[in-house]
Structure 1
Amino acid sequence: GLFRQLSRGGAGAPCTGSALSLLGKAMLAQSTGGVLLGAAESVSFMQGTQLGLAGVLRGAVLDAAVGEAPAASASGGSAIDVRRLLLAGLVGQTLGIQVPGLSARAEFTVPAALPGLAEGEVLDVALQAHAAAPGSVGSPMMSPLFGMTLFFQNGTEVPVSGLQQPFSVRIPVDTGGLSPLARQLWTQRARCAFWRNDSYSGEGCSVAEASLTHVTCACSHLTTFAVSQDTSDPACGDGRRTAGEECDDINLESLDGCSAACLLEGTHQCFGEPSLCLRVGG
């Protein structure tokens, strides 16, 4: 019922606010209610969401003029922002969208060129934001969910993938609930994740910059994006000596060296040749 309701009207339709509200609440409940989706349920939920939302996004600009103010709607933790632009007015620009009720705002920076599109092409540019990114088993999400989609005027989605010049996607993250050690390791564990039709994936996306408040992803394609963390990935300073790491045992082994990326672990620092992990200050 939710996805049928989403697909019936544009941003000006009476049902849109209600549909967005239901969608936002469903995502929030799934994300925070302690019931993470398994693989099959996650596929069904996200595919239905994107299919239904496409009708709203497209309907919002059916009669729009190029360059006029965006059609926008927000309710229940979900928001959409749709505008009609010439290709020349899109490339190189930064577009943002904010989650309703939160200060969290994502920014999409479009590369200077989008191969395969004609110079005078008119495109419908659709942004979406959701306060909660549905998690899946083994993939805790650390941010809201944001998306950008391009449409031709006939309603066909523009295929955007394999770009040599990537999109830059700046995503706000919530690290307030992390332990002190987890916060210390956050920039090493942050992962850019996108919805790839049936699951979250990091293919074609890399972390360009990470802080405790934002992660910037460089992505060669468009879809919906969020930020996760990989707690299983070996990290310098996690207190475990793992194959390929050289200082995480805090010098429990003789001549325990340090790699160029692992010079400081907690109260220990690398010194000497061959390097040792020694306690700072003695």
Structure 2
Amino acid sequence: MKPVRKAVFPVAGLGTRFLPATKVIPKELLPIVDRPLIQYAVDEAREAGIEEMIFITGRGKTAIVDHFDIAYELEATMRERGKDLSILDSARFTPGNILAVRQQVPLGLGHAIWCARSIIGDEPFAILLPDELMVGEQSCMKQMVDAYEQVGGNLISVLEVKPEDVSSYGVISPGEISGNLTEVRGLVEKPPVDQAPSNKIISGRYILQPEIMQILEHQGKGAGGEIQLTDAMAKLIGTQPFNAVTFDGKRYDCGSKLGFVEATLALALLRVDMRADVRAILDRLSEETQRLD
């Protein structure tokens, strides 16, 4: 069983829900406290022992790759002024471990993943959707890699939601359950509440075998007129082991404005150096808002 050494980050989207902020700045570089959103996903992959980061970019997204490059002028200036450069360590990589592939046309998540086929080759690989900010004592991808080392095959991360919320997500049809692992017997996209096979939703983290690329190459367009990764994954079920890992942690939907604000506040409150001040700010704003009402 080959180890998971490569991670794919689909970052070619336009980020229209955050306009005008994302007119010239990639959504993935908007900061959650003091780190860009993409940094959290990359750090998660690194914690899981993944070495190579593959960004599927589009026009206007080169700044994402630049973020992980060496900024010689910045570092020279900081060094001259006696500044601590360790703050930049998380954005440093061994040469050759950052790769970028251009998705020239917006044909969906499945197409974006297929664009990395030459780099993936015959190895298993991870996929992390940066919009899904996953926070836990142990990262979501680390939990998944640990599970992969036990069972191999294909894995997706899932979270349990209220039954009335399932129609907003992709949902798994579950089989046998063992600890945090659930056998996946089927995938259903946004089912009606009364027809949902479970309350376990797909949550933006995947470990897939390279055979998915062969399926994506011939995958027709699905929902929204796009090539859907979920449709391709469904064809692997029954031909290869396919399991779901229930993430022990919290998910923040940073693809929405409210989720982005919630994530910023939540992560600020987790910071020992900020917690007390942020709570004071929230209390003050709450009092001021009540007076305005």
TM-score (norm: length of structure 2): 0.22
Between the two structures, name the one with larger relative contact order (CA 8 Å, sep ≥ 6): 2
TM-score (norm: length of structure 1): 0.23
